[in-house]
Structure 1
């Protein structure tokens, strides 16, 4: 029996299969508000058969956004457009998740498809252009051309923690089934954890115990604010891929602490800092998921250039992960689970398509001579 299409339960949430959509920034919001782009972008994955769709990194504060085009959840007015999305996902068979984030020193960045702040005055007005001074564990730039961040003092850290709590409560009001704490990719919590970005000399810098302190404080506060019956995931960069950065062994220790707090799944990715030497290739992050799953005894999601259904199935069968997370592959093929089911599962899979489409796809395949009842 294929494992990819068997249900799995975390707390009170049962996912219909093991294929989920990883958060993908769209840089298409205006002042943090979701719009029709986000509805269609996320909604198509529910139609395509994914069991869980996780909305992009959503700023817990205006200055916590990666760019001025990122989603936010720092005010109640941002709840209704997100609730519209969760309702659509639910009606079409998918659970709804959201990744709550603070970009730290990587905030106030240009939109990736522009590459620089080259907006005209008219475009600035149209897109809701904003810029600000980022905050970080230390006054250290991400790159020589990045803005110099302001170092967070204890009061500032307490404020950020409370902003995360407030955003968590708004996520519940918006109808999300799970949240994911973003502690990866060189953003704020990852900055505290990594010696690459954390140069502090107080109780929040230096040894691993100190560097974990603030991320774990945030993790505890968020888990306490989120309903006990709903699962919480956390995304971590298992390695920085930089000498002197976070190691796999440190991440295993970190994951154990997160499990103890009550996080149900560790979403295993990597990197986030300038200068990383990343061995990019098919399935390149799967061993990181396996190391955390085995070392910390916690369920994991594997992500990163997983494109073939047979590979996804083998990852689960080998015990390297509990969930398969797709991002760019999902963009390329929003119907990936439906196509994978037809490849891996014997029998008629057309009934898994939305009724508006399944009969038409069946007839197309029959006409091409590839239909199998």
Structure 2
């Protein structure tokens, strides 16, 4: 079975974001199931595809809103309004339908599409009706846009997010309706997309690496708590604001919190132990230097890959209930609470008595469930061809 994996950004091997980590896990699982996978999409500027023999590149594009100029942002908004597309999909319209169709034809004979998230599929929606498809919903994007609108500080931004929510709901409905099968990354997302039936969808349990991280007997603890993320992404920003405004004030003055990743200039903390360290060269080494990991998601859909990585590494954690969406198993050294005062107390208790666990069992469980879900989806996509893999 030959599949064309249509995605906004093709893998470049860096795994710099949760989206890229999820894509790598899904593509690896498809190949373990026996499928040949050709990826089509864009690259980041200056970052070539990591698997050029199995990748069709449409061009280079930087879709990050936070680093774009004001002129670029206005151009994206204008393109979105004139085309009737979402803001995210309009960013990808740097090539025409005919150019994408010609690129698809270069893939040769294939059996179906894997439409990876709504951005690319929404930008070139009319091109994917000639073969059966599987739709991968990384998030319920229209719900995230609604939450972003509610949290927006300005009227223009609020109106823009409301427009995104309206358009995204329609696109997601069409992609789910046309797909032979839908994969989500959290159980809660299946009914939210109207595909709760087992004949229509399944959850993909994810991993952050092909092999379970090696456990070490000793860790060097450099701080009490560490957080890392793309804080310019609105759902992550909402969680960070909750943590800094509601939890941190309850922490002792000498409790040391390090926050890595790009942080908007408006994000500050007066707590003497909070330090913003920017980008770090090794994300895993950074979190392994903390006594406990706060898992602080309060908005968005899909799965929190930072939660999965924390569990794979066996690190102690304190998590909101929202941080555990899409995850069936919680290790013994994870405390769950949505109360800010209790969250702060649990962080201090975990930092005072560091208790790691072996995360390899969690990793094996995730891989086994991921592979089973992928096989189910491939059977729905093309039952006749899939018999060869049985």
- TM-score computed with the length of structure 1 as normaliser: 0.34
- TM-score computed with the length of structure 2 as normaliser: 0.33
